[in-house]
Amino acid sequence: MAGGAGLVLSLSDIAARLGGDVLGDGETRIWQVATLGSAGEGQIGFLANLKYKSQLLTTKASAVIISPDFADSVTLPRIVTRNPYAYYARLATLLNPTTHPVSGIHPSASCASAIPAEVSVGPNASIGEGVVLGQGVVIHAGCVVGDRVRIGDNTVLYPNVTIYSDCEIGSDSIVHAGVVIGADGFGFAPDQGQWLKIPQIGRVIVGNGVEIGANTTIDRGALDDTVIGDGSKLDNLIQIGHNCIIGKHCVIAACAAVAGSVTLADGVVIGGAAMIAGHVTIASGAVISGGSLVMKNISKAGQYTSVFPLEEHGHWLHNAAQIRHLAKLADRVSELEKKLKSIEGEG
């Protein structure tokens, strides 16, 4: 595993910056994070999943990040913290800082708006009229930023992002390659066997600290805006339909499809390849398992699943055939219960 910027810190230095308690040699030098199974000299591993606990005994790491419950399970130098996974994330960020191009406008870029001095615009990027960019914005090669778009401080657009006119993105957000924000929503009115296009006159409003994965698409609103709340994280290849309201700090995994006018309250978690039908509202704290289909409102927190466990194909076919007869079976049981009650009444 290659190091990011060549930064080397002692455990004591790390704890001074990120917190946690150091047990063992605080002068142990660390240059990179790694898994317990792959770590070597100068690397620090972490235990965030108990299935890897046995690797504490065999790891070649110079140190580990560990919770108080397992602090005595290893003799290696260690940083003890309540949330080893979050600590690992912060340390990985510290040791591997993101680098971006220097400020300035590439000669091949087309800019119809004033560009602040501390903004970077890459090759062949296109910036429309009336665009407002905050300080520290980075726009990589091939991006298209439409007219009157607003982008907050320190937000990064990776190559070939397209932002349609009038949309807004907050500060400290990350938009990965190929994302499309503000394309028309799927809005058509039936008329005598034909479909009339409904102009999509809303916008997309993306909050602060949002991350949007590669090739995700977020449709503009038909009338009201589509909104992505502060701190939400969207994976790759996600579809967000028009007029959706995604709350703060929601997480949506890859290949999920969210139909129009869906509302996710704060903190909702959507698993990969899940499908959310239109006009559904999902309550704060709800977790939707991967591959699930949500057809109705969810009014309270908890985990929800609508997929069958994996099984052999022949068994699946047999069970699927039985499912088709469940309604008839339920009717028969209901009739038998009525007859049984009638017989008991006569007795």
User: Which positions are catalytic?
Assistant: 242
Report strand pairing: 188-191 vs 144-145.
unpaired
The answer to whether the beta carbons of residues 66 and 75 sit under 8 Å apart is no
Short-list 111, 167, 115, 159, CA closest to 137: 115
Short-list 240, 208, 202, 235, CA closest to 221: 202
The answer to whether the beta carbons of residues 154 and 172 sit under 8 Å apart is yes
**Residue reference for tokens 């087309």:** 110
3-class SS at 209?
A: coil
CA-to-CA distance for 270 and 316, rounded, in angstroms?
26
Q: CA-CA-CA-CA torsion for 111, 112, 117, 123, nearest 10 degrees?
A: -10
**Structure-token pair, residue 215:** 């090739």
3-class SS at 148?
A: coil
CA 78 to chain centre: 30
The answer to whether the beta carbons of residues 206 and 229 sit under 8 Å apart is no
CA-to-CA distance for 141 and 116, rounded, in angstroms?
18
